[in-house]
């Protein structure tokens, strides 16, 4: 699992960790039953306070994204949690906003953007990448 | 309270006419990373020297592990690891010698850990201290501060003037130290991004006074940065009483405020302005707004 935190915006670090782990779960890069790194290890890797990582894990647990098994560690829960659809939509929404802003700037209308999306998607499908 | 590692109450200190600390109080619980931030000469080092018992309190009180470090230095210092800003070390010694030499002073010295750190930091035990680079010197200093596994680690500007690789080592050492159950770290820095990364709590010091003391999370949550647009260009900064700072030019201005979001919004709308964006500021921006005081109220971006 590789995540990154940035101090260039004011989003609290625990929130950044929570969002990114949710993203990894939603995108399938973290699978159900997979173990998250221990708090101490992730803290050293990200160079952030261990309490911050612990807080992020607690938050994820409260939302049902992960479950901690006593003595064993923290594991990804079943990906079909009630939150995951909403979260997926939210993550996608942010990217769509960015895409639309960029498109407008570059003078693409909605139709052309949709057309481009289709073209790109067909590349995915031919590679077997799309679900 | 027994779980307070450091308890400083109403500490004031002057050197001749100059006030170095003015009625300073700070409580540091066990297992916490505490960042002291302020400009050079703000009083950070003076505070750390009180914790080490190098200065005795003139007014107020200083307690470390429940003891007065000025009167019981042996009991206190044996449990403290200290990295000073100037890293004074005997220049004629070799790296291996200075590590063994320091080890002799501490009952709890962990020679295996010292050796492990030396290897991690890629230091040659045969090299003379005087021929070390700045970064290597900082790493040696870090070994000397850590290898007796202190309950309290005090770092005075640990990363000032160092390259990013050494800074990483230092931050990792801070994190490893607190991840070890029950250890506490106090460090001073003017690199606010570092402080924001690793600290639980922050005390901002300016001219010997406490400007802001709170948990990093509370500070970040309570402050808001607003981008404000006015109907017509402004010659000078909008007079917002509830805001911490305000800068910009023409029709767009950036306003930083603490808590009083509604009051600031009201003032803005009375001036025919509109808040077009709201975001969380970084610790750095908050510090500048606090310390900058009147200076940051005017001027252009």
**Interface membership of A101 toward B (CB under 8 Å):** no
Query: Which pLDDT value is given to residue B39?
Result: 85
Provide the CA B146 distance to its chain's centre, in angstroms: 18
CB contact under 8 A, A50 and B279: no
Residue A1 falls inside a structural domain: no
Query: Which pLDDT value is given to residue A126?
Result: 60
pLDDT in tens, B107-149: 999 999 999 999 999 999 999 999 999 899 999 999 999 999 9
Q: How far apart are CA A15 and CA A52, in angstroms?
A: 9
Residue A131 falls inside a structural domain: no
CB-CB contact of B112 with B163 (8 Å)? no
Domain that holds residue A39: 7-76
Helix (H, G, I), strand (E, B) or coil at B50: helix
Same domain, A70 and A26: yes
Residue A111 falls inside a structural domain: yes
Which residues lie closer than 8 Å to B243 by C-beta, 6 or more apart? Answer: B255, B256, B257, B264, B267
Same domain, A104 and A67: no
pLDDT in tens, B175-234: 988 887 779 999 999 888 889 889 999 999 998 999 899 998 889 889 999 999 998 888
Same domain, A26 and A64: yes
Residue A72 falls inside a structural domain: yes
CB-CB contact of B223 with B280 (8 Å)? yes
CB atoms within 10 A of CB B293: 13
Range 8-37 of A in CB contact (< 8 A) with B: 8-13
CB atoms within 10 A of CB B97: 15
Same domain, A19 and A65: yes
CB contact under 8 A, A49 and B196: no
Mutate to test the interface with A, among B164, B179, B196, B218 (most CBs of A within 10 A): B179
Query: Which pLDDT value is given to residue B293?
Result: 55
CB contact under 8 A, B197 and A48: yes
pLDDT > 60? residue A107? yes
Same domain, A41 and A71: yes
Helix (H, G, I), strand (E, B) or coil at B19: strand
Same domain, A55 and A88: no
Query: Which range among A1-10, A58-67, B12-21, B262-271 shows the weakest confidence by mean pLDDT?
Result: A1-10
Same domain, A40 and A101: no
CB contact under 8 A, B175 and A8: no
pLDDT in tens, B31-47: 899 999 988 888 999 99
CB contact under 8 A, B198 and A9: no
Q: What is the DSSP letter of A84?
A: H
Q: Where are the alpha helices (DSSP H) in B105-163?
A: 111-120, 134-146
B242 sits in which H/E element: none
Nearest CA in chain A to B222: A10
pLDDT in tens, A18-44: 989 988 887 778 888 899 999 999 999
Q: How far apart are CA B298 and CA B254, in angstroms?
A: 11
pLDDT: which is higher, A79 or A104: A104
Nearest CA in chain A to B184: A49
CB contact under 8 A, B179 and A48: no
Q: Which two tokens stand for residue B145?
A: 């501060």
Same domain, A61 and A95: no
Same domain, A103 and A69: no
Q: How many domains, chain A?
A: 2
Nearest CA in chain A to B199: A49
Residue A52 falls inside a structural domain: yes
Residue A2 falls inside a structural domain: no
Residue A57 falls inside a structural domain: yes
For residue A18, which residues of chain B lie inside 8 Å, CB to CB? none
For residue B279, which residues of chain A lie inside 8 Å, CB to CB? 9-10
* Distances in whole angstroms, Cα of residue B61 to Cα of each of A24, B43, B247: 50, 16, 40
CB contact under 8 A, A12 and B168: no
Same domain, A68 and A89: no
Q: What is the CATH number of the domain that holds A39?
A: 1.10.10.10
Same domain, A69 and A22: yes
Strand locations in chain A (E):
66-69, 73-76
Q: How far apart are CA B25 and CA A6, in angstroms?
A: 32
Mutate to test the interface with A, among B174, B196, B222 (most CBs of A within 10 A): B196
Q: How many Å lie between the alpha carbon of A12 and the closest alpha carbon of chain B?
A: 7
Query: Which pLDDT value is given to residue B67?
Result: 95
**Angle, nearest 10°, between helix axes B134-146 and B164-179?**
10
Residue A110 falls inside a structural domain: yes
Q: Which two tokens stand for residue A28?
A: 């399938």
Q: How far apart are CA A40 and CA A54, in angstroms?
A: 9
**Global pTM?**
0.80
Same domain, A70 and A91: no
Query: Which pLDDT value is given to residue A87?
Result: 73
Q: What is the DSSP letter of A74?
A: E
The distance between the two most distant Cα atoms of chain A, rounded to a whole number of Å, is 56
**Number of cross-chain residue pairs from A and B with Cβ atoms under 8 Å apart:** 55
């Amino acid at each position: 699992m590789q995540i990154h935190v940035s101090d260039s915006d004011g989003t609290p670090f625990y929130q950044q960790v929570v969002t990114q782990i949710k993203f990894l779960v939603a995108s399938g890069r973290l699978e159900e039953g997979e173990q998250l790194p221990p708090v101490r290890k992730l803290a050293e890797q990200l160079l952030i306070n261990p309490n911050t990582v612990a807080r992020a894990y607690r938050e994820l647990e409260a939302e049902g994204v992960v479950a901690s098994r006593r003595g064993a560690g923290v594991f990804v829960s079943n990906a079909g949690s009630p939150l995951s659809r909403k979260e997926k939509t939210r993550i996608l929404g942010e990217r769509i906003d960015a895409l639309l802003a960029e498109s407008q700037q570059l003078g693409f209308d909605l139709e052309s953007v949709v057309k481009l999306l289709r073209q790109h998607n067909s590349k995915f499908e031919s590679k077997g990448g799309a679900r | 309270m027994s779980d307070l590692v450091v308890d400083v109450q109403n500490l004031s200190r002057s050197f001749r006419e100059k006030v170095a600390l003015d009625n300073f109080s700070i409580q540091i619980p066990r297992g916490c990373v505490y960042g002291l931030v302020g400009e050079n000469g703000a009083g950070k080092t003076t505070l750390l020297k009180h914790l080490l018992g190098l200065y005795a309190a003139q007014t107020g009180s200083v307690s470390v592990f429940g003891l007065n470090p000025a009167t019981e230095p042996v009991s206190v210092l044996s449990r403290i690891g200290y990295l000073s800003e100037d890293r004074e070390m005997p220049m004629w010694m070799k790296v291996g010698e200075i590590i063994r030499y320091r080890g002799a002073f501490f009952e709890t010295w962990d020679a295996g850990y010292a050796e492990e750190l030396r290897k991690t930091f890629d230091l040659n035990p045969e090299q003379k201290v005087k021929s070390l680079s700045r970064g290597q010197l900082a790493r040696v200093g870090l070994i000397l501060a850590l290898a007796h596994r202190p309950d309290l680690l005090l770092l005075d500007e640990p990363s000032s003037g160092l390259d990013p690789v050494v800074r990483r080592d230092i931050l990792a050492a801070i994190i490893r130290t607190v991840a070890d159950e029950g250890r506490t770290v106090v460090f001073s820095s003017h690199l606010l991004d570092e402080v924001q990364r690793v600290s639980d709590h922050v005390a901002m010091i300016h001219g010997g006074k406490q400007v802001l003391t709170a948990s990093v999370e509370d500070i970040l949550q309570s402050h808001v940065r607003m981008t404000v647009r006015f109907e017509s260009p402004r010659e000078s900064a909008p007079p917002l009483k509830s805001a911490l700072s305000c800068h910009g030019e023409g029709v767009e201005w950036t306003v930083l405020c603490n808590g009083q979001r509604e009051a600031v919004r009201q003032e803005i709308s009375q001036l025919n302005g509109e808040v077009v964006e709201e975001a969380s500021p970084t610790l750095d921006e908050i510090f500048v707004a606090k310390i900058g005081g009147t200076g940051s109220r005017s001027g252009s971006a």
